[in-house]
Amino acid sequence: MLEIRDLHASVTEDGREILKGLNLRAQAGEVHAIMGPNGSGKSTLANVIAGRETYEVTQGDVLLDGESLVELDPEERAHKGVFLAFQYPVEIPGVSNTYFLRASVNALREARGEPEMGSAEFLKMMREKVKLLGLSDDMLQRSVNEGFSGGEKKRNEIFQMAVLEPRLCVLDETDSGLDIDALQVVANGVNALRTPDRAFVIVTHYQRLLNFIVPDFVHVLMNGRIVRSGGRELALELENQGYGWLEAEVAAGSQA
Amino acid sequence: MSHDRKRYGDTTLGNQEPSANEPAWLNELRASGREVHGRLGIPTPRHEDWKYTPLREVAETDWSPAEPGPALFEEPLPEFDSGAVRIVMVNGRLDRNLSNPGPLPGGLRIASIRDEIHSGNDAVLRSTLGRTGPKPTQTFDRQIVPDEHTFAALNDTLFEDGLVVYVAEGAKVDPLIEIVHVSHGGPEPSLVVPRILIVAEAGSRCKLVETYVTRGNGPSLTVPVTEVVVRTGADVEHVRLQDEDAGALHIANWQTAQESGSTYTSFNVCFGGRLARVDQGIWIGGAGTRTRLDGVVVANGDQHMDNHTRLDHAFPSGESFEIYKQIADDRAHVVFNGKIFVHQDAQKTDAKQTNQALLLAPGAVVDSKPQLEIFADDVKCTHGATVGQLEDLPLFYLRSRGMPRNRAEAVLVYAFAADVLEEITIEPVRKALEARLFEKLAVASR
């Protein structure tokens, strides 16, 4: 489903290169975890997939089902089924969650040539998703993320994901700032959305999220490249030993 | 008298002679209005307070006092709440046929200013009309004095009728009081001079919405004066909506006097008019008050919207909160000038002023001037002003959910202003204003 080939990306403003030849393939139904030390380019990767304009792709390609995303606007990527769960979800005072989600759902439907969803049908769907994720209704009436706790913001991201039903879900440090209970709620949400036709790319600094969302593949990102890929055991190894040994190995390898 | 073309900078509007039929207090008010307006005339940009307000058209047009309007209007007038005490004024006069006050709740009295004067039942008018402004106070080295308002003075000299809303001591008025003012321009350029007085006696409570619209095709200049007295411990929520047609001229004065322990929550919503200026003043004349003066200003096309606020904390322990959110699109010009005076005796004042403007087009202009003058030493006062464009991150957030860029921008612009409307506790008014904001920004059509 997702294929990233030799991706180079820089900060648009100052031209600083962050991703330096990154390769990744993810099939439908798979969960891929991207781990790495701070500053390795994890969040940049997530944002580049979603089309954030603060980064510029200078080389390589990001393909969804063989079609390049690189030249597409963020909304066009969303129409094709890309979703980014933000590390820092944005507060939008003055706009209710319900309005926001309905406008988003209908924007997606419009782009796909489907009829607009009526309010009764929409509310029914919202109620189902609230139930599926074990959330509370009052969240829907509140302004988007305004005054939400860290945990509520992350849950709201997962809720949006459930409502918009993307095919490729990219989670950017969804576990950061969460206590263990909140982490579990978020993980349960993600697990409820795991389907054979959906792929996940989960960016995380810590292994602990992967205790709850068990990945099929783990990749280690360092200095803008994936330096090691493996199964779940790779994450556990990183948890026990940190990133230092891998950094040393990579350094030795590049000198050899 | 010469009949030469009127010249900007050398003009007054109206020159009413004293009337023998009016009570002495009114003759005095009119005389003082004549003096002030005669002296100040129509200000030019050389006058600091009128630097940005283009008054050439006001000065050069031959305005005639507006005739009484028609009995009915084809286009329906705004209505927020069918359960409201509804008062309609047309060209400054109370219109009994269009009004629908229903059975008035206990403690609420609504009357026409003209009737009060003619019936001699004018004790409230006599003691309050024209007296709600700041009082001079002395600091260690200077005197803080009230501003003179040439258009309010013009209103003093010309108003023929108007509205008195009187809430008796301790009365809790639950239904919304809805005042709709219609300026109806005739074939000749019409000068409309509405006057409204609201008195909330000690310990009373009420909620009002005051709306200005225009009907008819003729040019109109509306020069309203609204005065509000909030006595000891009273609680008034007051929404003012100016939604006149895109050709209308509107220059308003809105003055509130608060006594000790009172609460005044006000919202100044400006959507309409070609030239619209509001000078809002609040005089804190007692200790332990709570005050809110918020503004939502949305200007597009060639609209000019100019809001000047002046808050005088003259007594201790007053809390005030002011936020103005302004949006300027196309070639619109918005101006905000926010003065806060903390007088020497106003210790423990807690005042916060914020002014944010959003510029949506290269031709749009914002001028913003916060002005805090503090003469007490134990106070908390903050102010902040920002002028900018939409931020990149929220835009990306909405677009990443599938919203096209133009729609995402419209939603964020809406949210920017709706954030203030959310604070209105009168639900039907808040909802109607949100819908009107949506329409004004043409969010749906983007």
Sort strands B249-258 and B225-230 into parallel, antiparallel or unpaired.
parallel
Q: Nearest by CB to A90, which of B393, B405, B407?
A: B393
**CB neighbours of A12 closer than 8 A, spacing ≥ 6?**
A53, A54, A55, A56
Across residues B204-210, what is the average pLDDT? 98
Rounded CA gap, B415 and B115, in Å? 44
pLDDT digits (tens, 9 = 90+) for B340-366: 999 999 999 999 999 999 999 999 999
* B424 and B374 part of one domain: no
Q: Is A139 within the bounds of a domain?
A: no
Mutate to test the interface with B, among A44, A104, A172 (most CBs of B within 10 A): A104
Average pLDDT value over all residues in chain B: 92
Across residues B40-54, what is the average pLDDT? 92
Percent of chain B clearing pLDDT 90 (strictly above): 83
Whether A27 and A167 have beta carbons less than 8 Å apart is answered as no
Question: Measured between CA atoms, how close is B438 to chain A, in angstroms?
Answer: 12
Report the SS3 class of residue A3. Answer: strand
- Number of compact structural domains in chain B: 2
Please tell me if residue A192 touches chain B, with a CB cutoff of 8 Å.
Answer: no
Report the SS3 class of residue B119. Answer: coil
Please tell me if residue A54 touches chain B, with a CB cutoff of 8 Å.
Answer: yes
pLDDT for res B7: 57
Both tokens of residue B341?
């005076």
* B63 and B170 part of one domain: yes
* B330 and B409 part of one domain: no
Half-sphere exposure of A44 (CA within 13 A, CB side): 26
Rounded CA gap, B88 and B72, in Å? 11
Please tell me if residue A113 touches chain B, with a CB cutoff of 8 Å.
Answer: no
Task: Find tokens 């055991």 and name the residue.
Answer: A233
Rounded CA gap, B6 and B102, in Å? 46
Q: Is A118 within the bounds of a domain?
A: no
Which residues of A are less than 8 Å from B398 in CB distance?
92, 100, 104
pLDDT for res A2: 96
Confidence label for A50 from pLDDT (cuts 50, 70 and 90): very high
pLDDT for res B10: 64
Q: Minimal Cα distance from B397: which residue of A?
A: A90
* B362 and B395 part of one domain: no
pLDDT for res B8: 62
* B119 and B93 part of one domain: yes
Report the SS3 class of residue A167. Answer: coil
The boundaries of the domain holding residue A177 are: 2-93+166-255
Q: Is A125 within the bounds of a domain?
A: no
Both tokens of residue A9?
């990306």
* B361 and B243 part of one domain: yes
Using CB atoms and an 8 Å cut-off, which of residues 134-173 of chain A contact chain B? Answer: 143, 160, 164
B405/A77 touch (CB, cutoff 8 Å), yes or no:
no
* B182 and B265 part of one domain: yes
Does residue A69 surpass a pLDDT of 50?
yes
Please tell me if residue A77 touches chain B, with a CB cutoff of 8 Å.
Answer: yes
Nearest to B265 by CA among B355, B316, B325, B200: B200
Both tokens of residue A17?
């290169």
B313 strand-pairing partners? B284, B342
Q: Minimal Cα distance from B414: which residue of A?
A: A94
Nearest to A88 by CA among B129, B391, B33, B141: B391
Which residues of A are less than 8 Å from B399 in CB distance?
51, 73-75, 78
Percent of chain A clearing pLDDT 90 (strictly above): 64
Confidence label for A157 from pLDDT (cuts 50, 70 and 90): very high
Handedness of CA B158, B163, B168, B170 (dihedral sign): negative
Does residue B217 surpass a pLDDT of 50?
yes
Q: Is A134 within the bounds of a domain?
A: no
Q: Minimal Cα distance from B402: which residue of A?
A: A75
B112 strand-pairing partners? B163
A111/B402 touch (CB, cutoff 8 Å), yes or no:
yes
Q: With a threshold of 0.90, tell me whether the complex ipTM lies above it.
A: yes
Q: Minimal Cα distance from B399: which residue of A?
A: A75
Rounded CA gap, B408 and B327, in Å? 16
Q: Is B324 within the bounds of a domain?
A: yes
Both tokens of residue B303?
């609209």
Rounded CA gap, A121 and A55, in Å? 38
Which residues of B are less than 8 Å from A164 in CB distance?
401-402
Identify the helix (H) or strand (E) that includes residue B73.
Answer: none
Whether A78 and B399 have beta carbons less than 8 Å apart is answered as yes
Q: Is A146 within the bounds of a domain?
A: no
pLDDT for res A181: 84
Q: Report CA B394 to chain centroid distance, whole Å.
A: 33
Confidence label for A243 from pLDDT (cuts 50, 70 and 90): confident
B408/A75 touch (CB, cutoff 8 Å), yes or no:
yes
Distance linking the first and last C-alpha atoms of chain B: 54
pLDDT for res A136: 77
A74/B419 touch (CB, cutoff 8 Å), yes or no:
no
* B351 and B410 part of one domain: no
Q: Among B340, B373, B389, where does a domain finish?
A: B389
B215 strand-pairing partners? B184
Whether B284 and B301 have beta carbons less than 8 Å apart is answered as no
Across residues A77-95, what is the average pLDDT? 93
pLDDT for res B14: 64
Sort strands B137-138 and B143-144 into parallel, antiparallel or unpaired.
antiparallel
Q: Minimal Cα distance from B443: which residue of A?
A: A103
Q: Is B6 within the bounds of a domain?
A: no
Confidence label for A250 from pLDDT (cuts 50, 70 and 90): confident
Q: No. of H helices and E strands in chain A?
A: 10, 12
pLDDT digits (tens, 9 = 90+) for A103-153: 999 999 999 999 999 889 999 999 888 888 877 778 788 889 998 888 889
Mutate to test the interface with A, among B327, B354, B399 (most CBs of A within 10 A): B399
Across residues A37-43, what is the average pLDDT? 91
Secondary structure of B193-226 in HEC code, one letter for each residue: CCEEEEEECCCCEEEEEEEEEEECCCCEEECCEE
pLDDT for res B445: 47
Could you say which DSSP state residue A15 is in? -
Q: Nearest by CB to B419, which of A50, A94, A104?
A: A94
* B208 and B272 part of one domain: yes
Both tokens of residue B318?
């007053």
Q: Is A250 within the bounds of a domain?
A: yes
* B279 and B420 part of one domain: no
Rounded CA gap, A36 and A56, in Å? 21
Q: Is B436 within the bounds of a domain?
A: yes
Please tell me if residue A78 touches chain B, with a CB cutoff of 8 Å.
Answer: yes
Q: Minimal Cα distance from A52: which residue of B?
A: B396
Whether B246 and B303 have beta carbons less than 8 Å apart is answered as yes
Both tokens of residue A164?
């918009």
pLDDT for res A254: 63
Q: Is A160 within the bounds of a domain?
A: no
A160/B397 touch (CB, cutoff 8 Å), yes or no:
no
pLDDT digits (tens, 9 = 90+) for A88-104: 999 998 888 888 999 99
The boundaries of the domain holding residue B409 are: 390-446
* B188 and B268 part of one domain: yes
Does residue A79 surpass a pLDDT of 60?
yes
Which residues of A are less than 8 Å from B404 in CB distance?
75, 107
Where in B360-400 does DSSP place strands (E)? Answer: 365-374, 380-388
Confidence label for A168 from pLDDT (cuts 50, 70 and 90): very high
Most confident segment among A25-39, A111-125, A155-169, B200-214? B200-214
pLDDT for res A174: 86
Q: Is B14 within the bounds of a domain?
A: no
**CB neighbours of A26 closer than 8 A, spacing ≥ 6?**
A1, A2, A3, A32, A168, A199, A200, A201, A217
Which residues of A are less than 8 Å from B422 in CB distance?
93-94, 143
Rounded CA gap, B229 and B289, in Å? 13
- Number of compact structural domains in chain A: 1
pLDDT for res A175: 83
* B359 and B435 part of one domain: no
The number of C-beta contacts closer than 8 angstroms across A and B is 79
Whether B155 and B226 have beta carbons less than 8 Å apart is answered as no
Does residue B70 surpass a pLDDT of 90?
no
Which residues of B are less than 8 Å from A51 in CB distance?
399-400
Nearest to A83 by CA among A55, A35, A51, A40: A51
Task: Find tokens 């790779």 and name the residue.
Answer: A234
Confidence label for B443 from pLDDT (cuts 50, 70 and 90): low
B415/A90 touch (CB, cutoff 8 Å), yes or no:
no
Question: Measured between CA atoms, how close is B433 to chain A, in angstroms?
Answer: 13
pLDDT for res B134: 92
Longest pairwise C-alpha distance within chain A? 64
Q: Nearest by CB to A94, which of B396, B397, B418?
A: B418
- Strands across the sheet containing A67-68: A17-26, A2-11, A55-64, A67-68
Please tell me if residue A72 touches chain B, with a CB cutoff of 8 Å.
Answer: no
What DSSP letter does each residue of A23-41 carry, written as one string?
EEEE-TT-EEEEE--TTSS
Across residues A198-220, what is the average pLDDT? 91
Rounded CA gap, A24 and A162, in Å? 25
Q: Among B373, B389, B405, where does a domain finish?
A: B389
Rounded CA gap, A228 and A33, in Å? 12
A203 strand-pairing partners? A34, A172
Q: Among B353, B368, B389, where does a domain finish?
A: B389
Both tokens of residue A152?
């509520």
Rounded CA gap, A154 and A86, in Å? 8
Q: Is A38 within the bounds of a domain?
A: yes
Query: What CATH number does the domain containing A219 carry?
Result: 3.40.50.300
Q: Nearest by CB to A90, which of B397, B416, B421?
A: B397
Lowest mean pLDDT among B66-80, B167-181, B432-446: B432-446
Residue ranges of chain B whose CB lies within 8 Å of a chain A CB:
392-394, 396-405, 407-408, 411-412, 414-419, 421-422
